[in-house]
A and B are shown apart, each in its own frame.
Chain A
Amino acid sequence: MNILVFVKRVPDTESRIRIQHETRTIAEDGLNFVISPYDEYAVEEALKLAEAHGGEVTILSMGPEKTGETIRKALSMGADKGVHVVDPALHGSDALVTSAVLAKALGTVEWDLVLLGVESTDARMSVLPAMLAERLGAPQLTLASSVEVDGTTVRVKRLTEAGYDTVEGSTPAVVGVVEKINEPRYPSFKGIMAAKKKPVTTLTLAELGLSADAAGTAGSWSAVVDFTPAPPRQAGTVVKDEGDGGAKIAEFLAGRKFI
């Protein structure tokens, strides 16, 4: 089975994020970048499926040169090879562009499953798995809290408000996994060393048959109008409990008409 996992390089949410208002971007110096945590679950799930059913796991990512490091991190978990779409024109791409580029990149490889995390911890749009399914005309097996493969049938538990639905589709399929679907493995020292030698193919937009103006900020179909710090919250009242803390809160709530 050929399993592809799309990963995104994102700032570590534990880092302090500094916003550069002039350029409407975040200051990257001093920031620690990681594989988007949701995508780690996707990498782990892919590795487990490959272990159970045989096959190869390929890590696919899109981004600047440094995204290569993110791909190596996923390779050190045990994936077999990587595909890195790198092109300066991609900077500022929205989800519509990203899904179009990914769909094209998937056209360059054989694949049975493409796995992704449900959303990235930076943009948090949660739209990429569905967009990819639409562009590829492949079964949308998303919001998955478990994944089973039975020959060419893929069965997932799709989280719903009421509980979950059991959903089936045939390969090739798009699988979007939710958090805590598994416990991502830590790369071993051996894995980290081995990752250095694993092949990573790079692709530019031209090699994918896409023009620069279909990508990046220019190719995106929405634009930021402005970007302002939120008005600061007015400082509240903090009191020490002297046996009356609960009663005081009740009084506050009554004052605000909650009770």
Chain B
Amino acid sequence: MAEILVLVEHTDGDVKKVTTELLTLARRLGEPSAVFFGPGFDAARDRLAEYGAAKVYVAEGGDYADYVVAPRSELMAKLVADAAPAAVLIASTPEGKEVAARLAVRAGSGIITDAVDVDADLVAQQSAFGGAVVVRSKVTRGVPVITVRPNSTAPEAAAGAAERVDVTVELSDGARSAKVVDRTAAERTGRPELSEASIVVSGGRGVGSAENFAIIEELADALGAAVGASRAATDAGWYPHQFQVGQTGKTVSPQLYIASGISGAIQHRAGMQTSKTIVVVNKDPDAPIFELADYGVVGDLNTVVPQLTTEIRKRKG
């Protein structure tokens, strides 16, 4: 059966949700072999087995973490040459795309990014022009390297052997040319990561101030959601730029997107238009974002949002 390589996203062996999605997708295309850059395999093994990894290629060693991207793409290029898989699936994160990019060049393969689905013929589906157009593309040369958006496949468990296969590669000189000399952690919010969250609660110009973002945060916390912000809000300094959703910011496609005080200009829509369910609160009945809403309330977010938060807490008990 065709082997499909899936690059594992993890933190110290804690496997991320997007990897369970990619393994599920890989099972429809062939037999998944996970690629794990260690250490941490022992912690990850069960979860990889749970989602059907038949094999796990394990590459341990400081170089993979200490140098930017190239060592990982060089190892994966070697795997592509040795194992001749039918395709390689990588999560569409900023770094994932860089691994995929270098792998494609090195392996002499075509690359497709931000796929939301891949069919049995390895035709990838992408969403273009802010969700207005569905594009289907295929790689025409080499082993297809495809990056897949988080939240586009529902993970389904199906047991796999997760047999460990240790792999190594002799790195080129260039692979060690960009060295990580220090790591700095930002303050943890305790909320889910924006591009992976199933629910996103965003605030825009209508929120009015940095302090008032607290009501957006409270709604997010009642739902266990990530917080997002429109460009107007981040430009005004009311919320950090890393939470910006939009054309120049993150693209999200959660199960539920709640937009408060956001008018819905193309700038913002491009970043959230493919969310499965969209709820809107805005005091302007003509705000373009209402065109996207599955449910919308024309009203003052300062009363509607806290009321919603209270109701959610009541229902959750």
Task: Indicate whether A222 sits within 8 Å of B139 (C-beta atoms), given known contacts A13-B247, A241-B300.
Answer: yes
Complex Cα distance, B182 from A123, in Å, reads 32
Rounded to whole Å, the gap between the CB of B154 and the closest CB of chain A is 14
Most buried by B among A127, A173, A237: A127
Q: Contact: B311 with A140, CB < 8 Å? A: no
Partner of A17, one of B102, B129, B178, B304: B129
Q: Contact: A236 with B296, CB < 8 Å? A: yes
Q: Contact: A142 with B297, CB < 8 Å? A: no
In the complex formed, the residue of B with least CB distance to A256 is B277
Please name all residues of chain B whose beta carbon is closer than 8 Å to the beta carbon of A135 when the two chains form the complex: 105
A99 at the interface (CB under 8 A from B): yes
Please name all residues of chain A whose beta carbon is closer than 8 Å to the beta carbon of B133 when the two chains form the complex: 19, 227-230
Rounded to whole Å, the gap between the CB of A177 and the closest CB of chain B is 13
Number of contacting residues on A, CB 8 A? 81
Partner of B184, one of A38, A124, A163: A163
Rounded to whole Å, the gap between the CB of A172 and the closest CB of chain B is 10
Q: Contact: A134 with B112, CB < 8 Å? A: no
Q: Contact: A221 with B105, CB < 8 Å? A: no
Q: Mark B103-132, 1 if CB is under 8 A from A, else 0.
A: 011100111111000000001000101011
Please name all residues of chain A whose beta carbon is closer than 8 Å to the beta carbon of B73 when the two chains form the complex: 134
Q: Contact: B186 with A127, CB < 8 Å? A: no
Q: Contact: A13 with B295, CB < 8 Å? A: no
Complex Cα distance, B308 from A225, in Å, reads 44
A88 at the interface (CB under 8 A from B): no
Q: Contact: B296 with A238, CB < 8 Å? A: yes
Rounded to whole Å, the gap between the CB of A43 and the closest CB of chain B is 16
Complex Cα distance, B101 from A173, in Å, reads 17
Please name all residues of chain A whose beta carbon is closer than 8 Å to the beta carbon of B300 when the two chains form the complex: 241
Task: Indicate whether A166 sits within 8 Å of B180 (C-beta atoms), given known contacts A127-B98, A127-B100, A138-B174.
Answer: yes
In the complex formed, the residue of B with least CB distance to A249 is B308
Please name all residues of chain B whose beta carbon is closer than 8 Å to the beta carbon of A168 when the two chains form the complex: 178-179, 181
Please name all residues of chain A whose beta carbon is closer than 8 Å to the beta carbon of B294 when the two chains form the complex: 233-234, 236-237, 252
B138 at the interface (CB under 8 A from A): yes
Please name all residues of chain A whose beta carbon is closer than 8 Å to the beta carbon of B248 when the two chains form the complex: 37-38, 121, 179
Q: Mark B164-185, 1 if CB is under 8 A from A, else 0.
A: 0000000011100111111111
If over half of A's interface residues share one DSSP class (helix, strand or loop), that class is named, otherwise mixed; here it is mixed
Task: Give the number of residue pairs across the A-B interface with Cβ within 8 Å.
Answer: 262
A27 at the interface (CB under 8 A from B): no
If over half of B's interface residues share one DSSP class (helix, strand or loop), that class is named, otherwise mixed; here it is mixed
Partner of A238, one of B135, B242, B293, B315: B293
Interface stretch (choices A55-63, A70-78, A153-161): A153-161
Please name all residues of chain B whose beta carbon is closer than 8 Å to the beta carbon of A91 when the two chains form the complex: none
Q: Contact: A249 with B68, CB < 8 Å? A: no
Complex Cα distance, B241 from A19, in Å, reads 31
In the complex formed, the residue of A with least CB distance to B315 is A259
Rounded to whole Å, the gap between the CB of B9 and the closest CB of chain A is 9
A253 at the interface (CB under 8 A from B): yes
A and B contact pairs by CB, cutoff 8 A, 18 listed = A19-B132, A94-B110, A127-B98, A130-B102, A137-B173, A221-B111, A225-B123, A228-B134, A236-B278, A239-B298, A240-B285, A243-B303, A246-B307, A247-B307, A249-B279, A249-B304, A252-B295, A258-B199
- Closest 6 A-B residue pairs measured CB to CB? A241-B299, A246-B307, A221-B110, A250-B311, A246-B308, A127-B101
Interface residues of A (CB under 8 A from B): 13-14, 17, 19, 37-38, 94-96, 99, 118, 121, 124-131, 133-135, 137-143, 155, 157-170, 173, 179-180, 220-230, 233-234, 236-241, 243-250, 252-254, 256, 258-259
Interface residues of B (CB under 8 A from A): 68-70, 73, 93-95, 97-98, 100-102, 104-106, 109-114, 123, 127, 129, 131-142, 172-174, 177-186, 193, 199, 223, 241-242, 247-249, 251, 255-256, 258, 266-267, 270, 277-281, 285, 290-300, 303-312, 315-316
